[in-house]
Amino acid sequence: MAAKPSIVFAHGLWADGSCFAKLIPALQAEGHEVLASQHGLDSLESDVACVTFTLNRVPGPIVLVGHSYGGTLITKAGTHERVGALVYIAALAPDENETSQQHQDQFSRTPVFDHVEIADNRVWLRSSGIADFAGDLPEAEQKLVLATGAVPVSDLFTQQAPGTAWRTKPSWFIVAANDRTVNPELERSAAKRMGAKTHEVDSSHVPMLSRPDFVLDVIHDAANSLQQ
């Protein structure tokens, strides 16, 4: 039997690779090679480059999974020749000439943005906003998310990079119905635009932490499609 597809994860704002900690051990136990990109949110270009050199470290075919702003990254980096499938988790998915901010501005502003501040040219999530980001997690897990999240440069969402992988690669999309960070209507619209296989779940912005089994099922579906 051919080796199982590799899985590469790309995190979003106020997160790092540890946000996939409930998924990675299960996928590894099943025989998948798994890596999570640890990009610094310093620029779109450097973040895409980090995802790309992470892809270079695992064999194909690859399921590339992006959460939140990580959806922008997999849209750009997913043109990599070994990427066979894309999985979007409560994510952005801008088109070729569309920035993350332009994509987001087409929909109503979400509550989390009432709880951010800019300091040292970085956009920080205040502790008062964690309920809008991960409100269905236990308090201890919310505090861990807040403590470990990478903090984006203030103009990250207005930067552009080439590539629209969802135009040529099969896609899966997990819509977080109770999302207060990325508008669920954006998620539904993006999934429809890309023709993704769409799954909706009652979750906050972080279903990979609050509903990991649901997310694993979607990743399995994408991975299985590459072995048929």
Token reading at 121: 């040219």
* pLDDT reported for residue 3: 83
Sign of CA dihedral 124, 42, 183, 204: negative
- Is the pLDDT at 1 greater than 50, yes or no? no
- Render pLDDT for 67-107 as a digit per residue (tens, 0 to 9): 999 999 999 999 999 999 999 999 999 999 999 999 999 99
Please give the radius of gyration of the chain, using alpha carbons only, rounded to the nearest integer: 16
* Portion of the chain with pLDDT greater than 90, in percent: 98
Q: b/e map of 52-87 (b: 16 or more CB within 10 Å)?
A: bebbeebeebbbbbbbbbbbbbbbbbbbbeebbbbb
Of residues 117, 42, 33, 123, the one with CA closest to residue 82: 33
Where exactly are the structural domains of the chain?
6-225
* Portion of the chain with pLDDT greater than 70, in percent: 99
Give the integer Cα–Cα distance in Å for 19 and 100: 21
CB of 122 closer than 8 Å to CB of 152: yes
| Class at the top of the CATH hierarchy for domain 6-225 | alpha beta
- Is the pLDDT at 228 greater than 90, yes or no? no
Q: Do strands 116-119 and 122-125 pair parallel, antiparallel, or not at all (unpaired)?
A: antiparallel
- Render pLDDT for 101-156 as a digit per residue (tens, 0 to 9): 999 999 999 999 999 999 999 999 999 999 999 999 999 999 999 999 999 999 99
- Render pLDDT for 40-72 as a digit per residue (tens, 0 to 9): 999 999 999 999 999 999 999 999 999 999 999
